[in-house]
Amino acid sequence: MEVPVGLEPRTGWVAGLNHGAHDASCALLRDGDLVVTVEQERLSRNKRALNESPALALQYCLNFAGIELEDLDVVALGSHHDLLAQWMGYGDQQRRSHLPFDSPSWLYPEDLFGGQRRPPLLPVRHHLAHAASCFWPSGLEECGILIMDAMGEDCSTSLAYGGAEGIEVLETYPVDVSLGFFYESACEYAGLGRQNAGKLMGLAAYGEPAAMDVGLRYKPGQISWPVAATADLTGRELIESRIDQLLEFFKSSCFPYTVGCAGDPLGYAHFAASVQKSLEDVVLGLARRVQALTGSSNLAIAGGVGLNCSANGKVATSGLYENVWVQPMAHDAGVAYGAALVVARALGLQHSKKSQMNHAYWGPPTDEAEAAAELAVFGLEAERMKPDTLLKETAAIIAAGGIVAWHQGRAEVGPRALGARSLLGDPRSRRTLVRLNRMKRREMWRPLAPSVLAERFTEFFEGVPNEFMIVAAHVRPDKRHAIPAVVHVDGSARPQSVLSDNNPLYAGLIAEFEHLTGVPVLVNTSLNVAEEPLCSSPRDSIQTFLKCGADALVLGPYLVRSSSSNSGH
C-alpha cells in the first residue's frame, strides 16, 4: 500500500485496530514485531464488544508498552470504511451516521486520550488485513492464502498469494454468495442465533448430510447459493434480501420446515450436517482453486469462516498442501494485527521471526501481586506453592474428578482456550463433559476439546497436529474408550497439540496428569460461562471460579480449593 507523502517512522511504534461494529481489538508493533494484542471484549467484559470502540484495547496496549498515544507513528485500521460506504451506496450523511467507526472521536475518546497528539490513521482493505494476519505470522516464506468471512468492503471470499514481494489478491467472490452469511443464516434457521456458528458445527455431528440438499455449490471461479440474487439491489438491502431468500428456501425445502424452533435443536441435526458438509466441500474447492492459481504447497487461512475447525481439518488432511496454517485470531479481531503488519511494512519496518505466531500467548500477563490482592479482596484462602508442588496438587485434583480453573501467564488470543485461561478436567470420564457443560451453561450436545502433549498426538489422534485447537482430527478408535469426555459423537475432536517450549507450565501439568493416570490428555475448555468473554484478568477468573462452581482455582502460584468441592462427582 502507499503511505502519505512525508509519513516516515519516528519511533517505530505502529498500532493496528479492528474498529467496526464487533470484535474490536488492538495490536501493537515495534519495528514491525508484535509486542501485545488484546480484544476489547476481554477488557469491557461485553461479548464480541458489539458497537464498542477499541479504545480500551488501545489504551491497554500502550500501557503495556509504557508509551503514550503520541508515541505512535501511525494507527492502521483493519477495514476501509470509505470503500465500504461506497459499496453500501451511502451518501456523506449516511456515511457519518452508519459508519462512524473511523472517526477520531470514536477511536480516541477524550476521557482516555484527551490532550494527546493523535497519530495519523491509515485504513487497510479488510481482506488484505486478514491475509497479512495469516501470511507473515505463519513463518512460511511463500503460500497461497484463503480468506473467507461474511464480507469485507465489497467481497466475501478472497484468494491470494503471499511471497517475498508481499501479498497479491488473485480472485474475489461477491457478497451475495457470502459463506459467512450463508452459515449465519443456517444458524438462525436452526434456532441457535446468527452468531453461534460453533453450535451449528457441533450439532452437525448428530445428523446425516445426505438427508437434504441446502444448495450451496462451488465450481472453479464461482460460489452459488440455492437462490439467485434479486436484480438491482445493492448494499444493506442486498444483504438482507439474500438472507431472507435463504431462510425462505430453508423453510420450504429443509426439515423441519420451520425457522428457529429453538426448543428442538436435534430436529435440525440433518440440516446442520448438510450445511456443514456443503461448506466443507466449498472450502475444499476453494483450496484447490488457490493451489491452481498459485502452485504453492503451503496454505494460510483467515476470516471468520476460518474458525470452522471441521472444514480446516478436511483441508489439512486432503493431501492438497504440505503445510496448512490457520490464524488463531481468524475472526475480525485478527485484522488489527494484519493491518498493523501491512502499514509497518509500507513504512519499511520489516517484522522478524519474533513475530511468528508459533504460540498464541500475546495477551495480558498474570501479575502475582495483582493476583494476591484480588484473592484478598474476595476473601479467598490461597496456598502459594512452588511450580512442581503446584503441578502435582493440580493434577491430583483433576485425576480425582475435579474441575480446575487455570489462569497462568499471558492470555491466549483468539476464541479458543489454550492453557492460559482454561477450565480443565479429566478426559477419562464422560461425566466430565456433562459437568463442564452444566457449569458453563452450555447445551449438553456440544463437545469439549482435548489438550495433548505434542509428542503423543499421533498415539491418540488421526490428523494434523495444531497448537491452536483450530483444526479437527479424529480420535483413534482404540483410544476412544480412554478419553471419552473429548470424543464427539462422530469420533472427532479438535485437539490442541501442546509444545513444552511454548507453554512449559501447561505441558508440565499434562505430563504430571499422565504420571498419575497414564493419559497425556486433559479436557480443556474456555474459562468463562455462556455469553461471557474468555477471562483475562485475575478478577475475571476469580469471579468465574466462584460463579461456575469449579473445585479449585490455580491463579499464578496460588491454589484455591473450593469450600464445597464436588471432586469426583
Stronger pLDDT, 420 or 1, i.e. the higher one:
420
pLDDT in tens, 244-285: 999 999 999 999 999 999 889 999 999 999 999 999 999 999
Q: Are residues 319 and 465 in the same domain?
A: no
Q: Is the pLDDT of residue 95 over 70?
A: yes
Structural domain of 485:
368-561
Share of the chain above pLDDT 90, in %: 94
pLDDT for 565: 55
368 in Cβ contact with 557 (< 8 Å): yes
- What's the pLDDT at 2? 77
pLDDT of 400 > 50? The answer is yes
Give the active site residue among 22, 126, 127, 569.
22
In which residue are the cell numbers 469471579 written?
A: 543
DSSP, collapsed to helix, strand or coil, labels residue 29 as strand
Do 424 and 340 share a domain, yes or no? no
Residues 393 and 532 in one domain: yes
Q: How far are the Cα atoms of 43, 99, 126, 402 from residue 150, in angstroms, in the given order?
A: 25, 17, 11, 40
Tell me how many degrees the CA angle 169-312-21 measures, rounded to the nearest 5. 65
Lowest mean pLDDT, pick from 98-102, 154-158, 560-564: 560-564
Which is nearest to 471 in space by CA: 334, 233, 335, 300? 300
Verify that 528 and 388 share a domain, yes or no.
Answer: yes
**Residue given cell 495469516 in the structure block:** 134
pTM over 0.95: yes
Cβ neighbours of residue 323 closer than 8 Å, sequence gap 6 or more: 140, 143, 297, 298, 299
What is the structure's pLDDT at 356?
87
pLDDT per residue over 469-527, tens digit each? 999 999 999 999 999 999 999 999 999 999 999 999 999 999 999 999 999 999 999 99
Give domain status of residue 67, yes or no: yes
Q: Are residues 497 and 426 in the same domain?
A: yes
Nine-digit cell string for 72? 505512535
Supply the DSSP string of 453-501, one letter for each residue.
EGGGHHHHEES---TTS-S-EEE-GGGTTT-GGG--TTSEE--EEE-TT
160-215 pLDDT, tens digit per residue, is 999 999 999 999 999 999 999 999 999 999 999 999 999 999 999 999 999 999 99
Read off the CATH number of the domain in which 234 is found.
Answer: 3.30.420.40
Same structural domain for residues 391 and 475? yes
- Torsion angle of the four alpha carbons 109, 112, 114, 119, in this order, in degrees rounded to the nearest 10: -70
**Do residues 89 and 210 share a domain?**
no
301 domain residue, yes or no:
yes
Same domain, 308 and 253: yes
User: 350 and 372 in one domain?
Assistant: no
44 occurs within a structural domain: yes
Mean pLDDT value of segment 331-335: 98
What is the structure's pLDDT at 564? 65
Whether residue 342 is contained in a domain is answered as yes
For residue 92, the tally of other CB atoms under 10 A from its CB is 8
DSSP notation for 296-314: -SEEEEESGGGG-HHHHHH
Residue 298 resides in a domain: yes
Say whether 98 is catalytic. Answer: no
Residue 407 has pLDDT above 60, yes or no: yes
pLDDT score, position 232? 86
Please give the pLDDT value at position 566.
44
Q: What CATH number does residue 553 fall under? A: 3.90.870.20
Rounded mean pLDDT of the chain?
96
User: What does the block give as the cell for 62?
Assistant: 500502550
Kindly give, in sequence order, each residue whose CB lies less than 8 Å from that of residue 381, ignoring residues fewer than 6 positions away. Answer: 560
Q: What is the pLDDT of residue 568?
A: 41
- Our count of domains for the chain comes to 3
User: Which backbone phi and psi does 285 adopt, to 5 degrees?
Assistant: -60, -40
The angle formed by the CA atoms of residues 447, 533 and 407, to the nearest 5 degrees, is: 80
Q: How confident is the model at residue 309 (pLDDT cuts 50, 70, 90)?
A: very high
